[in-house]
Amino acid sequence: MAQKRVVLEEGILKSNDLLAQKVREDLRRRRILVTNLLSSPGAGKTALLEALAQNLGPQMAVIVGDVQTRRDAERLERHGIQAVQIVTGGTCHLEARMVLRALEELQGTPRYLFIENVGNLVCPAGFDLGEQQRWVLLSTPEGDDKPLKYPEAFLTSHVLVITKMDLVPHVPFDVDQAEAYARSLNPRLRIFHTSVITGEGLEALLAHLEHTYRSLFPDA
Amino acid sequence: MAQKRVVLEEGILKSNDLLAQKVREDLRRRRILVTNLLSSPGAGKTALLEALAQNLGPQMAVIVGDVQTRRDAERLERHGIQAVQIVTGGTCHLEARMVLRALEELQGTPRYLFIENVGNLVCPAGFDLGEQQRWVLLSTPEGDDKPLKYPEAFLTSHVLVITKMDLVPHVPFDVDQAEAYARSLNPRLRIFHTSVITGEGLEALLAHLEHTYRSLFPDA
């Protein structure tokens, strides 16, 4: 049984990779930068996207994955940006086929497309959604040991965003330790410190997005 | 393929239920109260168990599930209690067969056995581990909307422990709202407010454990 399950999951991953490739090529052709956001529940993915929306406006759009409810899409729409909600109904991660279906609903051509994955630090790491970059968010109240305990999310990401920096005085979180753990897994990880309360780090993240966009699409 | 996967997963769940039943009967016979702890990464499962260990001492033991590392077992052993670590190596939840194997390593007969599940608010909810009660932990920095977004963990639990109450002044978390959302899913949920920093709620939790133990094993 275990053996059969492994073979089947390999099949699912392989067909996911093919669909992810299709997403990536399609969005590259349309010159849309796609970022896949991973984190635990409540680490601040939606709050960070709300803060970016205040600067990027309709240049950005979001595909939001949740096990249940349209709450996050509604939060984002209040900022005047497009948000397409995927309700997975129990599944603990998004898959490329869900993104492909969501893309049919996407209007126009935003410059930045964010995919807000299901809040989960384990399952989403194994699924390529066709993104050009992956961000993992780690909020300070979660503790600085999380990179070691959930390595795949940190291994497969390009950017680590440490969120809720405003809570550092109130929680046992050693920023240097967290960074050292994350870099021990993934030395090339770019790291940003942010707080949507104080605004810390948002300009640097926006500059990183702009820079990534220009390197991918130099003729745009 | 999707169809085949569903059938296979039903098979896995059914065989899990049989093994969970075996765990439950075995531990009931030995008069051990088993509690399965579910939460997001970093919600404070290990910290809560450390606080309980200070009161319960060797009356309690823990089976700890993690994707990687023995860190949590080591933290708990420092409090002089038995901790058996299960490293799932990628799997996002514990299963009853893993608990059965861990039980072979458990020495003696503790009164209270806790199973600290993998930090994940989605996958563990679907797997009975043979526990007599299930606790879901929600930490205040995660936000009060989590019961609606991750309903199964709240639906299948007997107790909701709201952790990190000391952070309430610093985070946007409405305690009444969180409770109302959780009770709308599961009206019989017992709710405790705790902080391992201030000690809030620990006595009430200990009393609840004692009371549950006495109702399950009146002749003990």
Closest Cα of chain B to A213: distance in Å?
Answer: 31
Query: Residues for chain B: how many in total?
Result: 220
Residue type, A92: C
ipTM of the assembly?
0.90
Tokens of B205: 């939790």
CA torsion, points A80, A67, B68, B105, in degrees to nearest 10? 160
Inter-chain residue contact A122 with B151, CB threshold 8 Å = no
Any chain B CB within 8 A of the CB of A151?
Answer: yes
Helix (H) or strand (E) holding A87: strand A82-87
Inter-chain residue contact A148 with B11, CB threshold 8 Å = no
Q: Are B182 and B147 in contact (CB under 8 A)?
A: yes
Give dist(CA B105, CA B145) in Å, integer: 39
Q: Are B37 and B129 in contact (CB under 8 A)?
A: no
pLDDT reported for residue A7: 63
Residue type, A115: I
A12 three-state secondary structure: helix
Any chain A CB within 8 A of the CB of B18?
Answer: no
Burial letters B40-71, b for 16+ CB under 10 A, else e:
bbbbbbbbbbbbbbeebeeebbbbbbbbeeee
Give dist(CA B53, CA B65) in Å, integer: 18
- Selection from A98, A111, A125, A136 nearest residue A27 by Cα: A111
pLDDT reported for residue B8: 63
Inter-chain residue contact A149 with B67, CB threshold 8 Å = yes
Cα distances from A76 to residues A70, A81, A89, A158, in angstroms, run 10, 6, 20, 24
Inter-chain residue contact B92 with A120, CB threshold 8 Å = yes
Instruction: Name chain B contacts of A4, Cβ cutoff 8 Å.
Output: 8
Place of tokens 């050009």: A132
Structural domain range at position B153: 2-216
Instruction: Name chain B contacts of A94, Cβ cutoff 8 Å.
Output: none
**pLDDT of chain B, 220 residues: tens digit per residue:** 445 555 666 777 789 999 999 999 999 999 999 999 999 999 999 999 999 999 999 999 999 999 999 999 999 999 999 999 999 999 999 999 999 999 999 999 999 999 999 999 999 999 999 999 999 999 999 999 999 999 999 999 999 999 999 999 999 999 999 999 999 999 999 999 999 999 999 999 999 999 999 999 998 8
- Selection from B130, B148, B142, B125 nearest residue B35 by Cα: B130
A172 three-state secondary structure: coil
Give dist(CA A41, CA A217) in Å, integer: 33
Instruction: Name chain B contacts of A171, Cβ cutoff 8 Å.
Output: 167
Inter-chain residue contact A145 with B4, CB threshold 8 Å = no
pLDDT reported for residue A1: 41
Q: Where are the beta strands (DSSP E) in A89-132?
A: 112-116
The pairing of strands B60-66 and B33-38 is unpaired
Helix (H) or strand (E) holding A27: helix A2-29
According to DSSP, the residues that pair with B60 across neighbouring strands are: B112
Residue type, A49: L
| CA quadruple A39, B121, B12, B103: dihedral sign | positive
Q: What is the 3-state secondary structure (H, E, C) of chain B?
A: CHHHHHHHHHHHHHHHHHHHHHHHHHHHHCCCEEEEEECCCCCCHHHHHHHHHHHHHHHEEEEEEECCCCHHHHHHHCCCCEEEEEECCCCCCCCHHHHHHHHCCCCCCCCEEEEECCCCCCHHHHCCCCCCEEEEEEEHHHCCCHHHHCHHHHHCCCEEEEECHHHHHHCCCCHHHHHHHHHHHCCCCEEEECCCCCCCCHHHHHHHHHHHHHHHCCCC
The most distant pair of C-alpha atoms in chain A lies apart, rounded to whole Å, by: 52
Cα–chain center distance at A220: 24
**pLDDT of chain A, 220 residues: tens digit per residue:** 445 555 666 777 789 999 999 999 999 999 999 999 999 999 999 999 999 999 999 999 999 999 999 999 999 999 999 999 999 999 999 999 999 999 999 999 999 999 999 999 999 999 999 999 999 999 999 999 999 999 999 999 999 999 999 999 999 999 999 999 999 999 999 999 999 999 999 999 999 999 999 999 998 8
Pick B42's closest partner by Cβ from A66, A122, A143.
A143
pLDDT reported for residue B6: 58
The B159-163 sheet, strands edge to edge: B82-87, B60-66, B112-116, B33-38, B133-139, B159-163, B190-193
Cα–chain center distance at B12: 21
Number of structural domains in chain A: 1
Instruction: Name chain A contacts of B72, Cβ cutoff 8 Å.
Output: 149
Q: Are A9 and B92 in contact (CB under 8 A)?
A: no
Q: Are B129 and B20 in contact (CB under 8 A)?
A: yes
pLDDT reported for residue B10: 73
pLDDT reported for residue A186: 98
Residue A145 sits in a domain of what CATH number? 3.40.50.300
Closest Cα of chain B to A121: distance in Å?
Answer: 7
